[in-house]
Amino acid sequence: MKTIDSLREYIQTLEKQKLLLEIDTEVDCHLELGAVMKKSNDMKGPALLFNKLKGFPKGFRVLGSPVSAFYKPGLMYARLAVSMGLAPDTGVLEIIDKLSAIADLPPIKPVIVGESPCKENKLLGEDVDLSVLPAPLLHSGDGGDYLGTWPIVITKSADGKWVNWGMYRVMVHDKKTLGTPLIPTQHIGMHYATWKEINEPMPFAIAFGTDPLTPIIASMAIPPYVSEVDVVGGYREKPVELVKCETVDLSVPASSEIVIEGTVSMDDSRLEGPFTEYTGFLLKARKSWPVFNVSAITYRNNPIMPVVCTGEPVEDHLTMSVSLAAGALNLLRKAGLPVKGAFIPAVSALHLLVISVCKDRFSGTDEELVNAIAKTVWSDKVGTFTPKIMIVDDDIDITDLDAVVWSFSTRCHPGAGFHFFPDTTIVPLSPYLAPEEKKAAKTTNVVYDCTWSSKLAKEDIPVRATLEALWPAEVRSKLQNNWREYGFED
């Protein structure tokens, strides 16, 4: 498989596929950049390359909405497909199938190289100044400028045995410090706990503008103790090239446009947030998190910063809707459950997982199937993002929202079809959560069983009113042959 090796190659590919718009008008990173991206996302527009940023030297650029939805029929997931080395018109269920198998591919360890363009400019020690980088204030309610909306945050456990590449938001405090939530149930929080035990600052590195596949893998629910860099290498069928950091014992992708290094404090914390999140709401809560002290900034000449403008769907969390569905599909298949497909509608902001099942391949009761699916999904990190599951029959196209809503409306029993699972672990960003639920990161999840009851005999199951089911083949053939003659267009 021919995957793309750098952000610049990705931009060139998007341009060739007519999936990119270059903006040469000067744009202000203070709110204007976010507003342009938001309006474009609402229209399902192309990726945006901002070539002139107010207050920054010529050559500093921003790639906005690198993997968001596209409006043309059959191309909604085109940027995600291209990021994975696939054709732009690859169907979303095929993308999900490929991602569902990614963690099971033979891992390939990275290699260290000596040189990289990301070292062309270096700011070390007292010369560190985060204001040289375009950190936009995306939404007027945000608590500060967010440098990291599409970054790779690299940390490792204190024993050095587990390296994590994760996707976390990163806010600028001042010229030398940053902040990000260190949620204990996330891998970065687990790493921080190991450094806390020995009371030593945790080293970190943040890489911006890597090859397009890496952020996608970093945003997936890869299991603990599995290093994402090995997974990226396995998918690309070649080792990822890394370069060593300047001031900490970590390595970053050699393809990076910009790298920030430093250590996370054990005793200094500052308020982070609020931030307008992927849920589509400005979450007004602020919280103190440990300070990220920056010891080095390196970047390419004429660097390109990828930026995502989170908010009401659909935006770049389209990618996470696909990767989380892929993770769920992988878990369900490994559990031996009769699952045909899994899909998270982009408009659900990761909150609804739709699963199609082949019930004739399951020998248990309806409730046993519901419980097995719920246990499999919600016992894994994948499930912490998806508090609602809808199970539908295998005749439903799970990518068609009309079909999904129709199935929910006509097949889900208002009593027997609702199954509640209290005290389930979740990511505490859902806007409907009560304060105590957010603090505990636990709530009640639900499964909607929208399949025909197994108590129904086959002959009692209603027949779908489709052409294939209710019109004979000769009539359908005549219909097809005479369609244009009737006056219709193909």
Q: How many Å is the Cα radius of gyration of the chain?
A: 24
Active-site residue identified among 277, 367, 436, 474: 277
Q: Is 162 left (phi over 0), alpha (psi -120 to 50) or beta?
A: beta
Tokens at 180, concatenated: 């990000």
For residue 35, give Cα distances in angstroms to 90, 315, 348, 404.
Answer: 30, 13, 22, 32
Residues forming a β-bridge with 137: 30
User: What is the side-by-side strand order in the sheet with 241-244?
Assistant: 111-112, 241-244, 251-253
Element (H, E) at 474: helix 473-482
**Nearest alpha-carbon partner for 68 in 309, 407, 244:** 309
385 three-state secondary structure: helix
Integer angstrom CA distances of residue 185 from 182, 192, 197, 223, 426? 9, 11, 16, 12, 9
Kindly write down the DSSP assignment for every residue of 298-353, as one continuous string: EE-SS-EEEE---SSSSSTTHHHHHHHHHHHHHHHHHTT--EEEEE--GGGTT-EE
> What are the backbone angles phi and psi of residue 148, rounded to the nearest 5°?
-110, 105
Query: Residue 36 forms beta bridges with which residues?
Result: none
Helices (H), 150-250: 187-198, 213-218, 228-236
Distance CA 432, CA 489 (A): 46
What is the C-alpha to C-alpha distance for residues 106 and 222, in angstroms, rounded to an integer? 14
Residue 272 annotated to the active site: no
**DSSP conformational letter for 55:** T
Instruction: Supply the DSSP string of 427-452, one letter for each residue.
Output: -TT-TT--HHHHHHTEEEEEEEEESP
* Strands 304-307, 152-156: pairing kind: unpaired
And the tokens for 52?
């002139």
Give catalytic residue positions.
277
